[in-house]
Structures are given as C-alpha cells and as structure tokens.
Amino acid sequence: MRYLLASFVLLTLLVLSPVSDAQEKPGVENRASSLVGTWVSRSKVGDTVVRYRKDGWFISAFYFTRQYSLTRDSVWTVGHWALSDDMIILHRLAGSDGLELVPEKRKLALKELTGNKLLIGNVPLDGQAFERMEEIPSSIEKQFSGSVLARQVYEQEEIILPEDAKKDVESYVGIEKVSGRTIRFYLSPGGEFLGSIGNENDDLIGKWEKSGDFLIISGVTEKQKLAILLELRKIEGQYKLFNVEQNGEQRPAGLNTSPFQKIEPVLLSIDGAEKYLQVQAFNDWYAKLSSISEGSAVRKQVANDGMIEEAKTSSKLVFKGDIKTGQVIGITKVFEEDGYYMTEVDGQYDAFLGASLSKFRSTKFPKSFRYQIGVISKLEPRTFRWFFTSGAIPKTDEYFSQQVETQAGLVSKIAVKRDGKIFLEINGVGTRTADFDKKVWDEFKASAEALFEIKKDKLPAEPE
C-alpha cells in the first residue's frame, strides 16, 4: 500500500484532443484505405498499438512492457473508426477501467498519413506519431485476433467483436461463451457456406439453406474432415443454435454459443464526436505542471488488530512537462516519521486514448514498477481520476484516486476498500512554490539514483 501513498504526490497529466484547421488532403476514401493496417507509437512509457480494420473496427492496446499482455500492465480499447475531411473519428465501444470517463466518440486531427507514417492530434503540440508495423510480434497478433480480447469485450458490454472478414458476403457471428472464441458464418449467393471458428484455422465448408425462420448448414471441416450439421432458428432477429451434430452424433457443448448477429457495415459519422481541451488549456496545464511543489497528507489505515492508525506525511516534488511531446518526468521526496523515501515517475499523454499513462517506482521497492492511467473526470474545476492497470490491485480491493486542481495546487484523495470495508484513506494537499528548476531537478535525481542503488540489492521486490 506504500505505492498508494506515493501516487497522491505524483502530479501527472491528462488532456483530451481538439481538432486541427483543415488542410488539403487526398480523398477520404483513398486515405481510409491507406490507414488500414497495424500502427505503433513508441514512447519512454510504453507502446500504443492500433489496428484499423477495413470493416470499420479498430483494436488497440497500450503496453507498458513488451511482454505484451492484455490482462496485466496494459490498457485496451475496441470500437469503430472513420475519416471525415481532416478528422479521424473514434467511437470506443469497450475498454479498460477509466476510459469510460473519456468521451465515447471523439474527433482527432489527422495531420499526416503516408504509407508508413501517421500523425494525429493537436495535443501534445507535435501530435502523436505512429509508424506502420511491417512485422507484428506473434503475441500481439494472437491477442488482436484471438479469444481473450473477444471474451473481454463480450463480458464487459455483451458486444461481439467480429473477426476480420474472410469474404465480403452475408455473414453472421456469435461467440462461444466459455472460451470466448468467435464463430462466423459466411453465406454466399447460391448456397455456398464457409464457417470460421476462432483462430483454429480449420474452416467448415459446405452448403446452407433457409426456410422461414430456420437456417440449416451442413459441411465438412477442411483439415480434420469432420462432418458437421448445424440447425438454427431466428429469434428476435438473431439466429440461435438448437441442434449441433458431429459425424452424426449430437454435440450439446456447441449450444453454448451466443445468438448469431448479422454483421452490417460500420457507418460512422462525425455527428456527436467531441473535441475536448483546446491547445491553450493544454499549455496552461503543462505550465502549472512544470513546477516545484510541497505537499502534506494524513493517512488512515486499518492495522492488523482492526484499529485505525493515523499518520502524517509531507513531501517535496519537482516535475517537468513537455508541451510538444506530452512527456512528463517527476521526482518526489516523501517524509515520514522514520525517515524519507523517494519516487520517480515517467508520464506520457496519449492522444489516441485521450488519457495519460504513467509508470513510477519507489525506493522502498526499487525492483517494482506501478502503472496507471489518468483521465479528466471534470473540466471545472479540473479533476483527475487515476486507475491502476488490471492485475496491480488485489481483486478484494476497490481503489479510488482523485486530484482536484486549485489555484494553489492540488487537493488529493485516495481510498481503498477491502472486502467492502474501508482499509486505507489518504487526504492531501499540494502547493506550487516555484517554477521548475534544473538545479533542483539534478539534485533530486542524484539523490534518488543513490538511494535506488543502495536499496535495490537489500530489499526484495514488492509482493504481488
């Protein structure tokens, strides 16, 4: 829980993207075709990978580490995309905790799009640069086309994420509730049928026939040569399996599939898409962020005997934000009754996500990093909410972290409930005392590096 105390003093950032002035560009349709593919934006904090599909869906993930996990140390989103003049329109349908506070439908400036380079957003001022991924790591390819993400989307919003279409014909898609595999039917004119099941790469090839509300499919799998019979009935506009046979024997397990939805083309317009903070607001934010500050806090925590222990802390912080790149660096010295410890933070504003990503570590646990996503939950007064990535907080905990910007600095609150009961509460204030000073930064940096060096071989990594 010491990282929770550290997070209250980390003055990091978030801003949501506005739109650029119009410039002459090639036709929208041609540029849309050029955008289809997988792109990556790299920063000191991590990598943002986005796949724009030709069917109008996008899949994306921000990876803090190159272990490329969707269930830990990452932020993921799924939705629809389109281009409109000099705008890229993003309509998020599902995603990681915290992103629901970002406008669901946004428009970003499309500054540059070539065969291998993409530049979006007016904030940070240089925009967010992507390069096309020619060689996609197998782990990312598996995640973007596999069952884990499909299951996450379905469990969160009951939305079926279709596979990349293999044929541009009438198609239906369902999801196997247990495994999360997507199952897609392609119904070609003339009665030809192709069935694609997850990423098993063993298609079902055969014939289809409709009779009223009934759809009958029969065929043989391409590799295993299994004879399959599928009988479906349309209920409330969706086909539902009521009989599955394999080599003449009934397969009740196949009935776990969700009703099959007909896949219609994605038609996404600019209507309702939001632009958020203007460039001037972003500049003002970063000007306040680049500072030296002092803070104090009161921590209340439940002890082993069930009693609430109270302690006071103070801190000194030095932070710097770069309005051109969106990068943030910061160092904090936190004073407790038995001494002090230090934290280092690296942050990055991500125009695609409309959020701030940060990683930080403490000299108390020099071998561990913590990763957070920060979003604006209210514009006036500017209010920030912070969320840990999945897997960082025990499942028994409910975590709340908020910072409200005032004329003097920030008012912060962290609250942790464990099994529904208050376990930890930290209330603090931070006051800006001076502009960023390179000399002070160098002093803090030298002290932190020395302390990390002393501690790293003496302490184990923080327990999970």
SS3 252: helix
Instruction: Please indicate, yes or no, if residue 342 is contained in any of the structural domains.
Output: yes
pLDDT at position 456, please?
A: 67
Distance from C-alpha of 353 to C-alpha of 373, rounded to nearest angstrom: 10
Q: Look-up: residue for tokens 């209250």?
A: 8
Distance from C-alpha of 280 to C-alpha of 276, rounded to nearest angstrom: 12
Positions in the chain short of pLDDT 70: 1-26, 198-200, 456-464
Q: Where in 198-305 does DSSP place strands (E)? A: 204-211, 214-221, 227-235, 238-246, 249-250, 261-262, 291-302
| Bridge partners for 257 per DSSP | 176
Phi, psi (rounded to 5 degrees) for 415: -135, 135
The range of the structural domain enclosing residue 348 comes to 2-14+278-456
Assess whether 307 and 416 both reside in one domain. yes
Assess whether 243 and 206 both reside in one domain. yes
Assess whether 195 and 139 both reside in one domain. no
pLDDT at position 199, please?
A: 59
Total number of domains in the chain: 3
Assess whether 220 and 239 both reside in one domain. yes
Distance from C-alpha of 395 to C-alpha of 318, rounded to nearest angstrom: 33
Instruction: Please indicate, yes or no, if residue 462 is contained in any of the structural domains.
Output: no
Locate 187 and state its tokens.
Answer: 């119904």
The alpha-helical segments, DSSP class H, found in 239-389 are: 279-289
Instruction: Please indicate, yes or no, if residue 268 is contained in any of the structural domains.
Output: no
Locate 278 and state its tokens.
Answer: 């203007």
Assess whether 107 and 195 both reside in one domain. no
pLDDT at position 410, please?
A: 93
CATH of the domain at 329: 2.40.128.20
Residue 107 contacts residue 274 (beta carbons within 8 Å):
yes
> Running DSSP on this structure, what letter comes out for residue 274?
B
- CA-derived radius of gyration, the chain: 26
Assess whether 337 and 411 both reside in one domain. yes
Assess whether 305 and 450 both reside in one domain. yes
Residue 330 contacts residue 291 (beta carbons within 8 Å):
no
Cα dihedral angle (94, 99, 104, 108), rounded to 10 degrees? -110
Instruction: Please indicate, yes or no, if residue 272 is contained in any of the structural domains.
Output: no
Assess whether 184 and 92 both reside in one domain. no
Which H or E element spans position 2?
Answer: helix 2-8
pLDDT tens for each residue of 12-55: 322 222 233 334 456 788 899 999 999 999 999 999 999 999 99
Assess whether 240 and 380 both reside in one domain. no
Q: Choose among 383, 290, 386, 280: nearest CA to 330.
A: 290
Cα dihedral 66, 68, 74, 75 sign: positive
Assess whether 34 and 130 both reside in one domain. yes
Could you tell me the pTM of the whole model? 0.89
Residue 175 contacts residue 156 (beta carbons within 8 Å):
no
Assess whether 360 and 384 both reside in one domain. yes
Assess whether 333 and 444 both reside in one domain. yes
pLDDT at position 5, please?
A: 43
CATH of the domain at 54: 2.40.128.280
Residue 352 contacts residue 15 (beta carbons within 8 Å):
no
Instruction: Please indicate, yes or no, if residue 341 is contained in any of the structural domains.
Output: yes
